[in-house]
Every structure is written in C-alpha cells, then in structure tokens.
Amino acid sequence: MIALSLIGIGTGNPDHLTRAAEGAMRAADLILLPRKRAETAELLDLRAAICAAVVGETARTATFDMPGRDPTLPYLDGVDAWHDAIAAAWRGAIARHLPDGGRVALLVWGDPSLYDSSLRIAARLRAGAMPVTVEVVPGITSLQALAAAHAIPLTGLGTPLLVTTGRRLAAEGWPAGTEMVAVMLDSGCAFERLDTACTSIWWGAYLGMAQESLLAGPLAATAPAIRDERTLLRARHGWIMDCYLLRRDAARAAASDR
C-alpha cells in the first residue's frame, strides 16, 4: 500500500511552508524529487534544500528523471502521453525505493490544485495495479505571493477574478465579464497582445526568493519594461517563473470608446 502526499510548498521560500506541509514531509518514508532536463540544477537544489531545512539529515529522498513532453504531438495528446510517462517514472522509483509500500511525498511548487498535474498523474497510479491513497496539502501559490509582494487584493468588492494562462490570454484576448485577470504559465508576453486602455499590470518573478523582481503600473508604460526584465533575468538565472495580475477599469474603458 502506498500513501501518496502531494505537498504544496509555495514558491521556493521555506517560509511559505505550512505546518501541515512540514508535518507531511517529516512523516514521509520517501520524498521523490524530479530531475528535469530543461531545468537548471537550481530548482532541484532548491527542493533538496527545503527537505534538508525541514526534515534534516534523516530525510530519505530519491531523484527520478523527469520525462520530457513530445513537442511533435498535438498539445493535449502530448500532455496525455507525458503524464503517462511521469506516472511510470513515479511507479518505478516507488517500487525501487519502497518495495513494501509506505508514505511517499512529492513537493509541488505552489498548490497542487492550481495549474499542476500531480493529481491527474496520481490518478494514473490508482488506475494501475498499485494500491494508492492520495492526500493533498495546500500551499501558497505564486498569485498569492504576487499579491502579498505588491500588497494588493486580487478581487474588488464582490467582483470576480479570472485565473487563466498566457496561452489563453494571447488566443482569446480580454475575457468577458471580469475586471481582474491573473495570468500564469506565460512563457511569452501575452499581455502585449491586449488593448492597453485603462489597464494596469502587477508583475512578479521568483516570488518570495532572493531574486524576486517586481514591476507594476499602467500596462502601456510597463509592458516594455517587463519584456526587458524577463529577458535579462532569464539570461542571468537560466530559468524564470513569473505571473501577473491585470486590472481593467471597464466603465472608464467604455466611456473612452464613446
């Protein structure tokens, strides 16, 4: 029997860890750490450092090679095959290190509920021959770290927030019916495709880490600065994780159209 804990660890700052996350890490017989080809060693090291800080030298960790996604397949087919391959990698590592079962923990950036596929991959384990229970420990998401760093709310008085991806925003433009849009997983600069009128942006990268970078202001004036900063930081660190909040004053935008 395998008890799998998917533990949200926040955005790389050990201070983001909750008591529940620390408890689940300490209770684990094995903490599985992915080694990604496309990722610099820094992120693996960061996860290992969090293990060491929380559990200490007794932490039993094992790394596994994270499969890559086949970019030649159509997007959803590619993701499906990729998740199958990750499930197989988890299964192999667990069988190797815990042949008699036990508690396995996986550390998830942010929160397992938001743009993370660990739950979908875990479902593949459960669908296989391996008896698995799944527990989720919530963690601070990059959007929360962004809002905290800028000291801004993500919602107005009773108004909605749309959380979406850079891909969607670029393809579909400003979503109907909302003045606040939080954007994750934007490997480009989808905000550049938007009409900038009456729109503001709050952007952050490496949130909560020593490298944290923040920019905010009217979209028209701030977008070029964010593009430049992203290019510079990605070159400097070899990787970047960022997100942003957009707010459009719909009433003012409509008035200026008249």
Site for a copy of itself, rule CB under 8 A: 8, 10, 13-20, 22-23, 75-76, 79, 111-117, 119-120, 134-141, 143-145, 147-149, 151-155, 157-165, 167-168, 172, 175-178, 185
Nearer to a copy of itself, 34 or 139 (CB): 139
Among residues 246, 243, 226, 114, the alpha carbon closest in space to that of 181 is found at 246
**How far is it, in rounded angstroms, from Cα 207 to Cα 224?**
20
Name the minimum Å distance from CB 136 to a copy of itself.
4
Name the minimum Å distance from CB 224 to a copy of itself.
26
Nearer to a copy of itself, 149 or 225 (CB): 149
Name the minimum Å distance from CB 253 to a copy of itself.
18
Nearer to a copy of itself, 63 or 212 (CB): 212
**How far is it, in rounded angstroms, from Cα 82 to Cα 77?**
8
Nearer to a copy of itself, 43 or 132 (CB): 132
Nearer to a copy of itself, 83 or 91 (CB): 83
Among residues 24, 7, 25, 5, the alpha carbon closest in space to that of 139 is found at 7
Cβ atoms of residues 191 and 217 within 8 Å: no
Name the minimum Å distance from CB 232 to a copy of itself.
27
Name the minimum Å distance from CB 219 to a copy of itself.
20
**Under DSSP, is residue 242 helix (H, G, I), strand (E, B) or coil?**
strand
CA pseudo-torsion sign 28, 65, 122, 138: positive
